A and B are shown apart, each in its own frame.
Chain A
């Protein structure tokens, strides 16, 4: 395995960690199951690609624009969540994914099925990030930024508000939490963060095609969140790492990637709906028990 190949895998893993974390804000924290997250990745990628490749704006501006524009679009696309709940919201987000992809595919402004090419490598502070280690640092830095935002959201009042909405919307409303406002927040933040990944994604590959952002991509991101442990910070990170790396280790899975993802979703729903390392999951209970046992032994030794 060449080091370039390994770096590419790591760069993608970093990007998918950010994606899984951003979806987790919406689905894990606020409880709004969305199967259209790849659409936000796509909107960010296309925004950044068009601004730099066609209008020759600098990377940092395109990157910020990707985050802001995707955030605004995500806020609007979150509107169905105010009307429909649970399973019907899932249908609506699937529909959104299809409509966004077909807009990319059939509207000439977005380059049609041929996609957009010649997207320049990003330049920041005079340094050009052309693949390799610098790009890994860039994507890892963004993943850290996403994690920081997730951590902040989970520790503050808004995190509590998300939780009450997830658990019981009507109860949340009666406690003075405005479910509509916080759902829209969750959609906006989640989409904005995914839009940033989209920008990094487009500049890393140098070209974007509508097929990069189809429905099964959304399934892949959702698999990571669910596999790792929905609603936690560690879960989506572990999920993204494992689901990116396992197919690389086991080549036969590579050919059956989506069979693997699909089967994993079914098995997790049947046996561990909270994910591998979610709260209340078997593995996490064992780990915390082990941790408690060892800290108790330590106390006794010290005591």
Chain B
């Protein structure tokens, strides 16, 4: 019983990781850029969500607007920076990304934006009710996270597999030049990719904000580092791999940290996993070669 409850808690944690990592892995797949500024998109999403919620009091509207704004923010990041660095060595856009991340985190902490303090996000379960069974239970907030993640993942799956847009991303991830040679409008395709990935990060920010009832300027740091760990674990640029890796990381964190005493906080355990993975399985758990 406890095992099942632990598993269901891990599932909720994994949901937020998945939304965050899905965006990163999509961007990596197409651009081959480690998009560290993704953390800022996540935080902006949560911030917009809490602002709209405090104006209008409607969670679903807040979620939609937050996703829209973070999507646009992501596209702006792409158009202002990565767009010009597509053919540069891979560390160049990475350093630019780190620069944006440091800049946005600093700006968000300023009093005219979020300030240095935490804001409450009292959306509760947004009208959903808790699920209780004999074996496990989900609170209303957890049901909300599960539901939103499932809906968004189905949406992403449909876009990836059933639309021309998804096909164009697959083509671009295999060979950008060839993709544009066969008539794909790369600019629009990559911008749409950024929009969707960033909107997912924004949704993750809103959900985590509601779940912890707190939104703050540096809330994106740890999730984004963990998202990198996840996309390395999952094999770079693979969405199913990222989902599996999110589940594994969430389960390991929940069980290892809860049952075994630890010297280091759980977040540095995640980093040790990252370093070891990079050293011994750089192509991920599912990766070949």
Query: A residues engaging B (CB < 8 A)?
Result: 33, 35, 79-80, 83-84, 86-88, 90-92, 94-96, 98-99, 102-103, 106-107, 216, 219, 222-223, 226, 256-259, 261-266, 269-270, 273
Q: Determine which of B101, B263, B271, B278 lies in contact with A98 in the assembled complex, contact meaning CB atoms within 8 Å.
A: B271
**Contacts A98-B268, A106-B264; A79 near B279 (Cβ below 8 A):** yes
User: Residues 68-95 of chain B: 1 if any A CB is under 8 Å from the residue's CB, otherwise 0?
Assistant: 0000000000000100110011111111
- Residue contact A266 to B228, C-beta cutoff 8 Å: no
State whether B268 touches A269 (Cβ < 8 A): no
What are the residues of chain B within 8 A of A257 when measuring CB–CB?
106
Contact B274 A83 (CB under 8 A): no
Residue B102 CB within 8 A of the other chain: yes
A80 touches B95 (CB 8 A): no
Q: How far is the CA of A74 from the CA of B119 in the complex (A)?
A: 41
Chain B residues with CB below 8 A from A107, complex form: 263
Tell me whether A265 and B275 are in contact (CB under 8 A): no
> How far, in angstroms, from A178 to B6 measured CA to CA in the complex?
49
Indicate whether B225 reaches chain A with its CB closer than 8 angstroms.
Answer: yes
- Chain A positions within 8 Å of B100 at CB level: 262, 266
A-side interface mostly: helix
Complex Cα distance, B95 from A24, in Å, reads 15
Report chain A residues within 8 Å CB of B274: 91-92, 95
Contact between chains at B90 and A87 (CB < 8 Å): yes
> With A102-B265, A266-B96 known to touch, is A84 a contact of B102 (CB < 8 Å)?
no
Contact of B90 with A86 in the complex, beta carbons under 8 Å = yes
Kindly state the separation between the CA atoms of A75 and B103 in the bound complex, as whole angstroms: 31
Chain B 99-135 near chain A by CB (<8 Å), digits 1 or 0: 1111111110010000000000000000000000000
Q: List 10 A-B pairs, minimum CB-CB distance, nearest first.
A: A265-B99, A262-B103, A262-B102, A258-B106, A269-B96, A95-B271, A102-B268, A266-B99, A262-B99, A259-B106
Which chain B residues (14-72) contact chain A, with CB distance < 8 Å? 33-34
Residues of B within 8 A of A90 (CB): 34, 91, 94
Residues of B within 8 A of A33 (CB): 91, 94-95
Separation of A259 and B99 alpha carbons in the complex (Å): 8
Q: Contact string, B225-262, partner A, CB cutoff 8 A, digits 1/0?
A: 10010001000000000000000000000000000000
Q: Given A91-B232, A92-B278, A102-B264, A269 and B103 touching (CB < 8 A)?
A: no
Asked whether A259 and B91 contact (CB < 8 A) given A102-B264, A106-B263, the answer is no
Find out whether the CB atom of B81 lies under 8 angstroms from the CB atom of A270.
yes
Residues of B within 8 A of A261 (CB): 99, 102-103
| Least CB distance, A16 to chain B, in whole angstroms | 17
Residue of A nearest to B83 (CB): A270
* Chief secondary structure at chain B's binding surface: helix
Chain B residues with CB below 8 A from A222, complex form: 95, 98
CB distance from A265 to the nearest CB of B (A): 3
| Cβ contacts under 8 Å, A270 to chain B | 81, 84-85, 96
Q: Which residue of B lies closest to A35 (CB)?
A: B98
Cβ A95 vs Cβ B96 within 8 A: no
Complex Cα distance, B85 from A118, in Å, reads 48
Counting CB contacts under 8 A, is B282 at the interface?
yes
Q: Tell me the nearest residue of chain B to A27, going by C-beta.
A: B91
Q: Which residues of A contact B90 (CB under 8 A)?
A: 86-87
CA distance A280 to B78 in the complex (A): 26
B173 CB to nearest A CB, Å: 16
**What A residues does B103 contact at CB under 8 A?**
258-259, 261-263, 266
Contact A88 B278 (CB under 8 A): yes
A267–B92 alpha-carbon span in the complex (Å) = 11
Q: Which residues does chain B contribute within 8 Å of A79, judged by CB atoms?
A: 279
Cβ A219 vs Cβ B279 within 8 A? no
B177 interfacial contact with A, CB 8 Å: no
Nearest CB of chain B from residue A180's CB, rounded to whole Å? 13
Closest-CB distance, B252 to chain A (whole angstroms)? 16
User: A88's closest neighbor in chain B, by CB?
Assistant: B278
